[in-house]
């Protein structure tokens, strides 16, 4: 890790333990009133910035240039085997059976942030790179999808991101927040960083 961000991020570790779950204030790319759906998720919790860094595929500091909503479809999981705990579909109707109903894919709203990398702290990104950072939640089809405890970054601001790789259909460099409640830190005017979600 580079010295300035490393020192600032390690100093933020003290604040990390108190970040917990936030109210989601200011979440998403808009502040206009919209019908809101609040989602609750279980995210892997990390006890320190060092743990975040160890789990991340990359750590970068970058300026958020834009925010675009995206609907992501996740295919239903495929199960196999004869153990009911490992295969919850055991005994259920199969394709071709009259009672069979295909499982619908799960759909989740994400916001994709275009980020100009200022500094690559760990991993493959370097200053000057552009990367798409996905974060759960956002405005889709007139409905604001909030995730409990997740605060979204603001366009035009600089953040440190701890990210994991995801597949991007358009070939762009795409990553997502390692833990949407813990893995983003806002850069302050003095060069230090503070957790985005508190």
Contact of 158 with 63, CB cutoff 8 Å: yes
Identify the pLDDT of residue 168. 57
Identify the pLDDT of residue 29. 54
CA distance 172 to 27: 25
| Cβ atoms within 10 Å, residue 173 | 16
**Pair of tokens at residue 168:** 């991007």
Identify the pLDDT of residue 34. 86
State the DSSP H helix or E strand holding residue 101, giving kind and residue range, or none if neither.
Answer: none
Selection from 125, 191, 138, 188 nearest residue 27 by Cα: 138
Selection from 172, 57, 177, 49 nearest residue 123 by Cα: 57
CA distance 159 to 188: 9
Residue 174 phi/psi, 5-degree rounding, is -120, 140
Domains, the chain: 3-19+41-75+102-195 (2.40.50.120)
Identify the pLDDT of residue 107. 86
Largest CA distance in the chain: 66
What is the pLDDT tens value at each position of the chain, 198 positions in all?
333 444 344 333 333 333 333 333 334 555 568 899 999 988 889 999 999 999 999 999 999 999 999 998 876 667 777 777 777 777 777 777 777 666 665 788 999 999 999 999 999 999 999 999 999 999 999 999 999 999 999 999 999 999 999 865 555 568 999 999 999 999 999 989 999 886
Identify the pLDDT of residue 93. 72
CA distance 136 to 43: 11
CA distance 168 to 166: 6
Residue with tokens 């860094």: 53
């Amino acid at each position: 890790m580079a010295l300035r961000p490393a020192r600032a991020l390690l100093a933020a570790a003290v604040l990390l333990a108190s970040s917990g779950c936030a109210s989601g204030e200011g979440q998403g790319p808009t502040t206009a009133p919209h019908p809101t759906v609040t989602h609750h998720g279980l995210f892997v919790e990390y006890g320190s910035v060092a743990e975040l860094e160890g789990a991340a595929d990359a750590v970068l500091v970058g300026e958020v240039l834009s925010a675009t909503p995206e609907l992501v479809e996740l295919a239903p999981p495929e199960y196999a085997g004869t153990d009911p705990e490992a295969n919850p579909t055991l005994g259920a109707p199969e394709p071709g059976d009259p009672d069979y109903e295909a499982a619908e894919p799960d759909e989740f709203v994400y916001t994709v942030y275009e980020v100009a990398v200022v500094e690559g702290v760990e991993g493959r990104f370097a200053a000057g790179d552009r990367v798409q950072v996905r974060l759960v939640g956002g405005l889709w089809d007139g409905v604001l999808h909030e995730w409990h405890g997740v605060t979204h970054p603001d366009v035009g601001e600089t953040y440190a991101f701890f990210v994991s790789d995801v597949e991007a259909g358009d070939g762009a460099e795409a990553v997502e927040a390692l833990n949407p409640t813990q893995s983003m830190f806002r850069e302050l005017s003095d060069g230090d960083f503070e957790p985005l979600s508190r």
